[in-house]
Structure 1
Amino acid sequence: MEAVAKLKNYPTGPRKMRLLADVIRGMEVEKSLSILEFHPQHNAKPLAKLLKSAISNWEQKNDGQNAADANLVVKTIYVDGGRSIKRMRPAPQGRGHKIRKRSNHVTIVVDTKA
């Protein structure tokens, strides 16, 4: 039985988050948590926290069964673009350039190895 966890409007670009999502896609949960724990990118901490949330959701769905014994796998993980905050930055000769501060939505699905 699969479990889902979602992270919405995290203030970093979706492209940067997809780099980490590609690293842990299809990997065992324990291995992906250890990779995220020591990854230098700043997006690794919220992604690890989201993965722990998905694991606890799976444990609640399966009547408290231990996730370590079940050989859980990151079945799917995808990153969608969230809202963009538009700002103006001063530019030469009295002009203004648009700055888009992007955010993203991350969804993780965790399931047992088939």
Structure 2
Amino acid sequence: MKVQVQTKHLPISPQKLRLVCDQVRGMGAEQALTVLNFMPQKGAELVRKSVASALANAVNNFDLNRSDMFVATIYADEGPSLKRVKAGARGRYKPRIRRTSHLTIVLDERGE
């Protein structure tokens, strides 16, 4: 059975989040949590919390075995961008775009 979790409006760009997602795609859920715990990237903590939430949902809501779950699908999409300005030289301003991400994780059981 598949368990899907969506985490929206994460304060990190999708490009940076995808680098972390690529590392754990296809791993067992518990192994992914261990790997993410030791990664130095900011996105690793955000992905770890979402994987832990998906795993807890699978165990508590659907009575699935924790050790059989693996990361079947994980991807990061663009969320809304916040437009901000930064002061520049000679009284000018420089536009800045604060990007956000939407993270989708699907956990599935290993086939017997």
Q: TM-score by structure 2 length? A: 0.92
The answer to whether structure 1 residue 96 and structure 2 residue 96 are counterparts is no
In the aligned structure 2, how far is the partner of 1:57 from the partner of 1:73?
14
- CA RMSD across the alignment: 1.2
Which whole-Å CA distance do the structure 2 matches of 1:56 and 1:5 have between them? 11
- The yes-or-no answer on 1:85 pairing with 2:85 is no
Q: 2:104 aligns with which of 97, 107, 111?
A: 107
Instruction: Find the counterpart in structure 1 of residue 65 from structure 2.
Output: 66
Structure 2 equivalent of residue 57 of structure 1? 57
Residue 61 of structure 1 deviates from its aligned partner by 4.3
Give the Cα–Cα distance (whole angstroms) in 1 for the partners of residues 31 and 72 of structure 2.
14
- 3-state SS of paired residue (1:65): coil
Partner of 1:35: 35
The structure whose residues are more often helix, as a share, is 2
* Structure 1: tracts of 5 or more residues without a match: none
Letter in 1 for 2:109: T
Give me the whole-angstrom Cα distance separating, in 2, the residues matched to 1:43 and 1:91.
29
CA distance in 2, matches of 1:66, 1:31: 14
* Consecutive unaligned residues in structure 2, runs of 5 or more: none
Aligned residues: 111
Once residues 34 and 65 of structure 1 are traced to their aligned partners in structure 2, the CA distance between those partners, rounded to angstroms, is 20
**Aligned equivalent of 1:14:** 14
Q: Which runs of 4+ in 1 moved over 6 A?
A: none
